[in-house]
């Protein structure tokens, strides 16, 4: 018995070790049941791809702490016995769980063993976690959100196009076929409904379906032998996948191989605007919803436009139906996942919607029932989605070569040359982080962490050294590199490929900087300051050019304000350059880790720049952090610089260069603009929230600043280009 126990403990330790390595996790936890908040619920565990519950016998706050930390929270507040969050279903996987609180996974805690229990579901344990999340915690979901599955095992489902549609990308129309026991079978159209079409199109990334030319398929089916699947399918229209639908009645094929009306099922789907073959097709409505912070197309934090201001959605009652409404509204298919607890980053500003309830058939999330009162909701409860998107084949036309791991390397693209497809490199001239972002997105590798203009240290494929793409300039929203502006067939690359080919490194996570617009509005004021007190600022180009002509007794009028820059991303914001490359400024006696960290501009109402300033990041540090998050970066004593996830760096109004020199400005109405990280020196998950704008009025003596907001601007890159 002792040997057997030792073997069990050894097996458990081996399991945990396997989890810490790059293998599929053997267990996964989730919070389920009758709950209002994302950080509470019945504790369920998935083992051997089957979800089950945990018995409350011998459960403790230490065990709850381990479970909550494994779920990405800072710890547990309490735990609840006797199925407080409702009774679960299926197996009771764990019983008599004993944890010390130091374990990294519930799988490490001694118990009776998986599946060994004498409990009932009336004893299902629940936990209430600390709503604060572990900074940088990576949420990995290896399970889907399906509740019902087909009783028959279905290996695969596809839309098979007819020969005239074979070259169309994406595949939007064809026969619906199911792979069963290694053979592809058609589905009889008896009892097939439009709701089934909706599910098939949704799982393939399309928001809707349409009618098709029935004559062509009828003629084709009469000439070919059919091999029908033996069941009908009964969908409600809200399923994320056909395998989530219920089985209908068994079908008996006729002697001639036909069934019912004698036709196999055909669907014709409507692609979203981003995936449509031309701009004349696809969904075109401008939505009131957007996704932010996702590493791939079709995923992100859900934000809603209300009264001209973007805000987030609280995750109370957030589910697949609501998530699917968002996905279809944005031109994607059904939702794969409805994410809670700000798993794709925290937003800023108001929380517009709470306790959203959708039927699944609404045209917009704003058509669903919701509670306007978001009292008790914080941005740690921001809802997010992952949507099904069409298979565009983008990943097959690009690769990274020569890197130490699959996430880095020289960029090589597949292009047509002299009638054949060849691999080649991309010219690195003007290659930057925005272009690298598009590459990582196209490959499905998340965000870009670095862009490289020299790749001699990566031994790529020698046969692909020739440059096949040059002049690449991306906006950052493209799904693939060929969608960016480039020279086309007329290659121009003075340095050539080889060692000067473009390269990237990708990452699952990225920082995201957002300026606190409200603080800017509250702290803006004017100061007249003598030139003799501005000599260091003059040396660092923080004054307008006319200041160089002034004598020491003259004054400059400065528009001063405080700025508070939050990192709401999923990884720390660090300077691009290390200590060795920082620039020493003798006058202010400090180092600059990023020479231009922010642009401060005053614009006319038509967008013309009339006054400007800039701020070098002489000190990137964690001024303050959210509760439960430790400061990591301090500037004192030449310390490490950066901004931790969940922290912010504050530049007070009373420090040098924290202003715009408006001495030469005439009274009138203007736009006050701040751009963070204007030259994209450091990778971020979202650059569209790096711009803050305010309206302001100057009467020659006083200034009023109002309606400050951080919003999406399509022309950020043009606004921030060097003048």
**pLDDT tens digits, residue range 420-447?**
889 999 999 999 999 999 999 999 999 9
Q: At residue 362, does pLDDT exceed 90?
A: yes
Both tokens assigned to 53: 């519950």
Q: At residue 299, does pLDDT exceed 80?
A: yes
Closest among 461, 467, 444 to 403, alpha carbons compared: 461
On whether residue 16 sits in a domain, the answer given is no
Whether the ω angle into residue 170 lies within 30 degrees of 0, i.e. cis, is yes
On whether residue 112 sits in a domain, the answer given is yes
How far apart, in whole angstroms, are the C-alpha atoms of residue 123 and residue 116?
14
On whether residue 140 sits in a domain, the answer given is no
519 and 503 within one domain: no
What pLDDT is stored for residue 723 in this prediction?
29
How many structural domains comprise the chain? 5
Instruction: Quote the domain boundaries for residue 565.
Output: 513-717
301 and 256 within one domain: no
3-class secondary structure, 722: coil
Q: At residue 523, does pLDDT exceed 90?
A: yes
CATH at residue 307: 3.10.250.10
704 and 647 within one domain: yes
Residue 50 CA neighbour count, 13 Å, CB half? 10
C-beta neighbour count of 294 within 10 angstroms: 22
What confidence category does residue 241 fall into, taking pLDDT thresholds of 50, 70 and 90? Answer: confident
224 and 110 within one domain: no
CA 418, 421, 423 angle in degrees (round to 5)?
Answer: 115
26 contact partners, CB below 8 Å, separation of at least 6:
15, 18, 19, 47, 107
694 and 564 within one domain: yes
Q: Contact at 8 Å (CB) between 247 and 187?
A: no
Residue 193 CA neighbour count, 13 Å, CB half? 12
Q: At residue 284, does pLDDT exceed 50?
A: no
How far apart, in whole angstroms, are the C-alpha atoms of residue 721 and residue 204?
39
562 and 521 within one domain: yes
On whether residue 277 sits in a domain, the answer given is no
How far apart, in whole angstroms, are the C-alpha atoms of residue 468 and residue 561?
48
Q: At residue 4, does pLDDT exceed 60?
A: no
475 contact partners, CB below 8 Å, separation of at least 6:
434, 484, 714, 717
How far apart, in whole angstroms, are the C-alpha atoms of residue 627 and residue 630?
8
Largest pairwise CA distance in the chain? 104
List Cα–Cα distances, 413 to 425, 432, 443, in angstroms: 6, 17, 11
Element (H, E) at 697: strand 691-698
430 and 364 within one domain: no
Q: Where are the alpha helices (DSSP H) in 145-193?
A: none
472 and 412 within one domain: yes
- Average pLDDT estimate for 611-618: 71
List Cα–Cα distances, 571 to 278, 440, 644, in angstroms: 37, 17, 7
402 and 364 within one domain: no
Task: Output 216 or 572, whichever has higher pLDDT.
Answer: 572
On whether residue 10 sits in a domain, the answer given is no
Closest among 523, 374, 493 to 37, alpha carbons compared: 374
Boundary of a domain, candidates 240, 271, 302: 271
244 and 157 within one domain: yes
Boundary of a domain, candidates 212, 243, 271: 271
Boundary of a domain, candidates 507, 524, 547: 507
694 and 588 within one domain: yes
DSSP 533: G
How far apart, in whole angstroms, are the C-alpha atoms of residue 234 and residue 246?
5
644 and 525 within one domain: yes
Characterize the bridge pairing of strands 91-94 and 126-129. Answer: unpaired
Report the range of poorest mean pLDDT among 83-97, 111-125, 299-313, 537-551: 537-551
List Cα–Cα distances, 104 to 41, 107, 126, 242, 466, in angstroms: 20, 8, 19, 37, 49
415 CB-contact burial (10 Å; exposed 0-12 / middle 13-18 / buried 19+): middle
Q: Contact at 8 Å (CB) between 447 and 436?
A: no
3-class secondary structure, 573: strand
678 contact partners, CB below 8 Å, separation of at least 6:
596, 598, 599, 690, 720
Closest among 167, 62, 58, 154 to 106, alpha carbons compared: 62
On whether residue 134 sits in a domain, the answer given is no
On whether residue 18 sits in a domain, the answer given is no
What average pLDDT does the chain have? 83
What pLDDT is stored for residue 139 in this prediction?
57
What confidence category does residue 49 fall into, taking pLDDT thresholds of 50, 70 and 90? Answer: confident
Both tokens assigned to 294: 């996702």
606 contact partners, CB below 8 Å, separation of at least 6:
none
- Average pLDDT estimate for 231-257: 76
On whether residue 51 sits in a domain, the answer given is yes
């Amino acid at each position: 018995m002792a040997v057997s126990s030792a073997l069990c403990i050894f097996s458990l330790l081996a399991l945990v070790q396997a989890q810490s390595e790059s293998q599929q996790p053997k267990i996964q936890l989730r919070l389920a049941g009758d709950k209002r908040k994302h950080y509470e619920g019945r504790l369920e565990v998935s083992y051997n791809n089957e979800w089950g519950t945990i018995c409350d016998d011998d459960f403790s706050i230490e065990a709850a702490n381990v479970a909550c930390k494994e779920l990405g929270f800072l710890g547990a507040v309490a735990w609840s016995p006797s199925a407080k969050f409702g009774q679960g279903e299926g197996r009771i996987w764990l019983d008599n769980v004993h944890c010390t609180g130091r374990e990294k996974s519930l799988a490490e805690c001694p118990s009776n063993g998986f599946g060994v229990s004498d409990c009932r579901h009336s004893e299902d344990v629940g936990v209430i976690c600390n709503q604060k999340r572990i900074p940088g915690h990576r949420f990995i979901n290896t399970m889907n959100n399906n509740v019902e599955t087909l009783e028959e095992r279905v290996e695969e489902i596809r839309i098979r196009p007819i020969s005239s549609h074979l070259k169309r990308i994406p595949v939007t129309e064809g026969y619906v076929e199911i792979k069963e026991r290694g053979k592809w079978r058609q589905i009889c159209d008896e009892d097939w409904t439009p709701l089934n079409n909706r599910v098939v199109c949704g799982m393939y990334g399309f928001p809707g379906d349409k009618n098709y030319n029935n004559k062509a398929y009828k003629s084709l089916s009469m000439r070919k032998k059919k091999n029908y699947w033996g069941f009908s399918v009964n969908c409600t229209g809200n399923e994320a996948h056909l395998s989530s639908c219920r089985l209908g009645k068994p079908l008996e094929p006729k002697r001639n191989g036909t069934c019912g009306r004698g036709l196999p099922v055909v669907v014709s789907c409507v692609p979203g605007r981003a995936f449509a073959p031309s701009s004349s097709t696809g969904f075109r409505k401008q939505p009131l919803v957007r996704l932010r912070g996702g590493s791939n197309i079709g995923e992100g934090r859900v934000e809603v436009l209300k009264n001209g201001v973007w805000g987030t959605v609280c995750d109370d009652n957030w589910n697949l139906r609501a998530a699917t409404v968002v996905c279809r509204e944005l031109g994607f298919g059904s939702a794969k996942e409805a994410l809670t607890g700000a798993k794709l980053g925290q937003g800023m500003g108001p929380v517009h919607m709470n306790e959203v309830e959708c039927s699944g058939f609404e045209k917009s999330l704003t058509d669903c029932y919701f509670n306007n009162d978001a009292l008790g909701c914080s941005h740690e409860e921001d809802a997010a989605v992952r949507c099904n998107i069409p298979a565009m084949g983008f990943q097959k036309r690009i690769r990274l070569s020569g890197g130490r791991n699959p996430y880095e390397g020289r960029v090589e693209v597949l292009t047509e040359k002299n009638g054949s497809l060849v691999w080649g490199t991309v010219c690195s001239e003007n290659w930057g982080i925005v272009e690298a972002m598009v590459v990582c997105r196209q490959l499905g590798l998340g965000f870009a962490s670095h862009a490289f203009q020299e790749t001699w240290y990566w031994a790529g494929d020698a046969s692909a050294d020739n440059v096949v793409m040059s002049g690449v300039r991306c906006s950052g929203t493209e799904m693939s590199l060929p969608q960016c502006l480039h020279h086309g067939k007329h290659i121009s690359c003075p340095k050539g490929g080889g060692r000067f080919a473009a390269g990237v490194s990708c990452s699952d996570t990225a920082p995201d900087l957002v300026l606190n617009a409200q603080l800017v509005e509250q702290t803006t004021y004017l100061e007249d300051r003598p030139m003799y007190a501005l000599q260091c600022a003059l040396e660092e180009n923080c004054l307008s050019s006319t200041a160089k002509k002034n004598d020491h007794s003259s004054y400059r009028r400065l528009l001063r304000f405080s700025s508070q820059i939050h990192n709401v991303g999923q990884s720390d914001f660090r300077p691009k350059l290390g200590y060795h490359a920082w620039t020493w400024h003798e006058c202010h006696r400090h180092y600059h880790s990023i020479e231009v960290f922010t642009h401060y501009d005053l614009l006319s109402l038509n967008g013309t720049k009339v006054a400007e300033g800039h701020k070098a990041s002489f000190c990137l540090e964690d001024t303050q952090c959210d509760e439960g998050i430790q400061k990591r970066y301090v500037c004192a004593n030449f310390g490490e610089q950066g901004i931790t996830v969940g922290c912010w760096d504050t530049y007070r109004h009373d420090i040098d260069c924290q202003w715009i020199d408006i001495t030469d400005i005439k009274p009138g109405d203007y736009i006050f603009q701040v751009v963070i990280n204007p030259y994209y020196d450091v990778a971020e998950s979202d650059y569209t929230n790096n711009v803050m704008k305010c309206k302001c009025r100057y009467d020659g003596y006083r200034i009023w600043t109002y309606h400050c907001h951080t919003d999406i601007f399509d022309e950020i890159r043009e606004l921030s280009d060097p003048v």
